[in-house]
Structure 1
Amino acid sequence: MTLGNLTGISAVVAVETRSISAENPTGEPGQGGRRTEGTGAHAARDLGQGWKVSPSIEIGPGETAALADIAGSGCITHVWLTTHTDNWRRLVLRAHWDGDEAPAVEAPVGDFFCSGWGRFAQVSSLPVAVNPNGGFNCYWEMPFRSQATVTLENTSDEKVVVYFQIDYWLGEVAAGSAYLHAQWRRSNPLPAKTVHTVLDGVEGPGHYVGTYLAWGVNSSGWWGEGEVKFYLDDDEDFPTICGTGTEDYFGGAWNFDLGPERGGYAEFSTPYLGMPQVIRPDGQYASQQRFGMYRFHLPDPIRFRTRLRVDVQALGWRSGGRYLPLQDDIASTAFFYSTRTSTTRPEAPTHDGMEIC
Structure 2
Amino acid sequence: MTDMLGVAMKPAGKSRQLTTFNLEKRSKTIVLPPGRKVTIGEVRGAGYIGRIWLTFPGWFWQHWHTTAAIDPTMLKSLILRIYWDGSATPAVECPMGDFFGAGQCEFNSFTSKYVGTSSGGFYTHWPMPYAKGFRFEVENRHPRNGTDIFVNANYQELDAMPKGAGYFCTQYRTGRRKPGEEALIVDTAGSGQFVGMMLHMQGELLHYLSFLEAPEYVYVDDDWDKPRFTGTGLEDYFSGGWYFRDGEFAGPLHGVPLKDPLRSMVTMYRFHEADAVAFDRRFKLAFVNPWEVDRLKPYWYSSVAYYYGNTPTPPQPPLPPHEEVMKLYRTRDTDHISIP
Instruction: Return the TM-score normalized by structure 2.
Output: 0.86
- 1:227 and 1:13, CA in 2 relative to 1: closer, same or farther beyond 3 A? closer
Distance 1:315 1:57, change over 3 A: farther
Write the mapping of 1:316-327 to structure 2, written as runs, cut at 5 A: 324-327=295-298
1:182-240 Cα offsets, whole Å, 9 max, x none, are 111012x213421011111x112100001111101113433211111110001223211
| Structure 2 residue 24 is the aligned partner of structure 1 residue 35 | yes
Asked whether the equivalents of residues 314 and 327 of structure 1 are also in contact (C-alpha less than 8 Å), the reply is no
Identity score, percent: 29
Q: Which runs of 5+ in 1 are unaligned?
A: 25-33, 37-52, 259-265
For 1:190 and 1:325, how far apart are their aligned partners in 2? 10
Q: Determine the structure 2 residue equivalent to 1:59.
A: 32
Match of 1:8, SS state, is: helix
Q: When the two structures are aligned, how many residues end up with a matched partner?
A: 310
Paired residue for 2:54? Answer: 81
Cα distance in 1 for partners of 2:137, 2:29 equals 14
Give 1:14 shift: 3.4
Matched, 1:147 2:133: yes
Give the drift of 1:323.
Answer: 7.3
Alpha-carbon distance between aligned partners in 2 of 1:242 and 1:7, rounded to the nearest angstrom: 36
Q: Would the aligned equivalents of 1:155 and 1:350 in 2 still touch at CA under 8 Å? A: no
How far apart are residue 174 of structure 1 and its match?
1.4
| Map of 2:283 onto structure 1 | 308
Q: Which amino acid aligns with 1:234?
A: D
Q: CA RMSD in A?
A: 2.0
| Cα shift readout 1:227-272 (whole Å, capped 9, x = no counterpart) | 11110001223211201001100111112124xxxxxxx1011000
Question: CA shift at 1:279, angstroms?
Answer: 2.8
Secondary structure of the residue aligned to 1:111 is helix
Q: Distance in 2 between matches of 1:89 and 1:330?
A: 13
Q: SS at the partner of 1:156? A: coil
Deviation per CA, 1:305-349, whole angstroms, max 9, x where unpaired? Answer: 111011112577x8xxx9723320011110000011122221124
1:71 paired with 2:44, answer yes
4+ long deviations beyond 6 Å:
none
What residue in structure 2 maps to residue 230 of structure 1? 218
By how many angstroms is 1:6 displaced? Answer: 6.7
Letter in 2 for 1:338: G
- C-alpha distance after superposition, 1:134-179 (max 9, x if no partner): x101000111111101100001122112111111111132111100
Tell which structure's C-alpha radius of gyration is larger: 1
Partner of 2:189: 203
Separation of aligned partners in 1, 2:169 and 2:298: 28
Give the alignment's TM-score, normalised by structure 1. Answer: 0.82
Cα distance in 1 for residues equivalent to 2:325 and 2:289? 20
Does residue 267 of the first structure (1) align with residue 248 of the second (2)?
A: yes
Contact 2:80 2:93 (C-alpha < 8 Å) held by counterparts: yes
**Alignment check: 8 A CA contact 2:129 2:162 kept:** no
Supply the distance in 2 between the matched residues of 1:235 and 1:270 (Cα, whole angstroms).
32
Q: Which amino acid aligns with 1:145?
A: A
Q: 2:312 aligns with which of 326, 335, 341?
A: 341
Matching of residues 1-357 of structure 1 within 5 Å = 7-24=5-22, 34-36=23-25, 53-83=26-56, 84-85=58-59, 86=72, 87-133=74-120, 135-157=121-143, 158-172=145-159, 173-187=161-175, 189-200=176-187, 202-219=188-205, 220-223=207-210, 224-258=212-246, 266-280=247-261, 283=262, 288-314=263-289, 324-355=295-326, 356-357=329-330
CA distance in 2, matches of 1:336, 1:323: 35
Which segments of 5 or more consecutive residues in structure 2 lack a partner in the other structure?
Answer: 60-71, 331-340
Query: C-alpha offsets along residues 69-94 of structure 1, whole Å, 9 cap, x if unaligned?
Result: 00011111110011233211000001
What's the counterpart of residue 30 of structure 1?
none
Q: Give the match's secondary structure for 1:88.
A: helix
SS in 2 for 1:254: coil
